[in-house]
């Protein structure tokens, strides 16, 4: 009798933590959880769908009735997209000519922080030097500093010291500065988890820090680099505040978002163009996201454990 009790008691205790985990998995996989996810997705999508429908409606219909009236009185037109993409003038959008500016701003502003942040993250994770921990803490703390606090001092440096205000380099440097703390923090957490045996083996073979970084760290960090690159690209592409401050309001440097803000016109007379302009502006972010989304589902160090 006592032997049976001693055998049964550990079995119950051993199953308890697994039962809790299984209970959570069963809850997430239940039909009710699936139904809740579908409802949330539908509710979240309705405003976007309404905006998409409004982009094809005539101006008078947009100003007088809601988008749901298409079900009772359907009317569609491409006039809004034609005005947004091809018309020119003070009261029109002419977004087609601003795509180039947005690309010139976004691509370097996404690549520079990743390149600098990857090297800094490797140095803080695998190069032992005095004060590395405090430097990482300081970089992490910079994330809580609102970027609005640095706009005016940085603008004064660009205009009075460097003389680059209102140029593309000013916008590149600003986006790089504001993006580096988060990039370094995320890449450091990823790179520091790479097995030390791989680094030590490379050092035993005579590899220096440059070879280790380019031949080991970068190939294994591709999922993290791609994920951070997506976020940085989307953030810069959709940015308006930094563009307004550092582009100087010049047409040659103004990005797509700045022109969208100006598109409304006096007293909001061109609000009917905003839905079309919004969908024109999200074409590129959608392409970038869907092209690189597979990196979001990769686990940490998948390349190092599976080759």
- Chain segment 202-240, per-residue pLDDT in tens: 888 888 888 888 888 888 888 888 888 888 888 899 888
CATH number at residue 228: 1.10.3720.10
Q: Are residues 161 and 188 in the same domain?
A: yes
Counting the structural domains of the chain, the total is: 2
Question: What value does the mean pLDDT of the chain take?
Answer: 79
pLDDT for res 155:
86
**3-class secondary structure for 146-181?**
CCHHHHHHHHHHHHHHHCCCCCHHHHHHHHHHHHHH
How do residues 127-168 score in pLDDT, each as one tens digit?
A: 888 888 888 888 888 888 888 888 888 888 888 888 888 888
58 & 146 share domain: no
Q: Tell me, what's the pLDDT at 262?
A: 78
| Terminal-to-terminal C-alpha distance of the chain | 53
pLDDT at 159: 84
- Coil, strand or helix: which one is 186? helix
User: What is the average per-residue pLDDT within 19-36?
Assistant: 72
Q: Work out the number of other CB atoms within 10 angstroms of the CB of residue 101.
A: 22
Residue 105 neighbours by CB distance under 10 Å: 26
Q: Which long-range contacts (CB under 8 A, 24 or more apart) does 162-170 make?
A: 165/246, 165/248, 166/246, 166/247, 166/248, 166/249, 166/250, 166/253, 167/248, 167/253, 168/104, 168/105, 168/108, 168/253, 170/246, 170/247
pLDDT band for position 306 (cuts 50, 70, 90): very low
| Range list of H helices, 55-98 | 59-64, 79-86
Residues 122 and 232 reside in one and the same domain: yes
CA distances to 106, 183, 259 from 99, rounded to whole Å, are 10, 26, 10
Residue 176's pLDDT band (boundaries 50, 70, 90)?
very high
pLDDT tops 90 at residue 116: yes
Q: Which two tokens stand for residue 272?
A: 């009917």
Residue 112 has pLDDT above 90, yes or no: yes
Domain interval for residue 30: 2-86
Q: Which of 55, 86, 117 is where one domain is finished?
A: 86
User: Could you say which of 27, 57, 86 is where a domain stops?
Assistant: 86
Q: What is the pLDDT of residue 22?
A: 66
If asked whether residues 160 and 285 sit together in one domain, one would say yes
Highest mean pLDDT out of 62-71, 113-122, 290-299:
113-122
Residues 124 and 184: beta-carbon distance below 8 Å: yes
Q: Which residue has the higher pLDDT, 32 or 250?
A: 32
- Residue 29 — very low, low, confident or very high, per pLDDT cuts 50/70/90? confident
179 and 301 share a domain?
yes
Q: Average pLDDT of 258-262?
A: 80
Most confident of 71-80, 81-90, 117-126: 117-126
Task: Name the percent of the chain lying above pLDDT 90.
Answer: 7
Same domain, 103 and 224: yes
Phi and psi angles of residue 271, each rounded to the nearest 5 degrees, phi first: -60, -25
Domain termination residue (choose one: 49, 68, 86):
86
Task: Specify the higher pLDDT residue, 177 or 266.
Answer: 177
pLDDT tens figures, 3-20:
444 444 444 444 445 566
Q: Do 104 and 131 have their domain in common?
A: yes
pLDDT at 300: 40
Do 207 and 233 share a domain, yes or no? yes
């Amino acid at each position: 009798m006592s032997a049976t009790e001693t055998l049964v008691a550990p079995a119950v205790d051993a199953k308890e933590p697994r039962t809790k985990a299984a209970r959570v998995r069963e809850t997430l996989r239940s039909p009710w959880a699936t139904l809740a996810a579908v409802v949330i997705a539908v509710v979240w999508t309705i405003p976007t769908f309404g905006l998409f429908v409004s982009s094809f409606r005539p101006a008078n219909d947009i100003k007088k009735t809601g988008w749901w009236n298409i079900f009772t009185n359907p009317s569609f037109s491409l006039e809004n997209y034609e005005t947004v993409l091809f018309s020119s003038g003070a009261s029109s959008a002419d977004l087609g000519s601003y795509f180039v500016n947005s690309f010139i701003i976004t691509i370097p502003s996404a690549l520079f922080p990743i390149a600098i942040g990857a090297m800094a993250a490797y140095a803080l994770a695998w190069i032992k030097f005095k004060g590395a921990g405090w430097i990482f803490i300081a970089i992490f703390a910079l994330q809580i500093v609102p970027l609005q606090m640095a706009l005016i001092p940085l603008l004064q440096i660009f205009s009075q010291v460097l003389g680059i205000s209102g140029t593309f380099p000013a916008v590149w440097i600003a986006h790089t500065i504001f993006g580096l703390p988060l990039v370094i923090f995320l890449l450091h957490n990823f790179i520091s988890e790479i097995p030390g045996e791989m680094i030590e083996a490379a050092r035993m073979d005579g590899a220096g820090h440059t070879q280790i970084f380019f031949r080991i760290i970068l190939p294994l960090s591709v999922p993290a680099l791609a994920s951070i690159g997506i976020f940085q690209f989307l953030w810069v592409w959709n940015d308006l505040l930094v563009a307004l401050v550092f582009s100087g309001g010049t047409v040659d440097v103004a990005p797509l978002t700045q022109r969208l803000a100006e598109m409304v016109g006096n007293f909001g007379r061109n609000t009917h163009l905003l839905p079309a302009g919004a969908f024109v502006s999200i074409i590129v972010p959608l392409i970038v996201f869907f092209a690189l989304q597979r990196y979001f589902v990769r686990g940490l160090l998948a390349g190092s454990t599976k080759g």
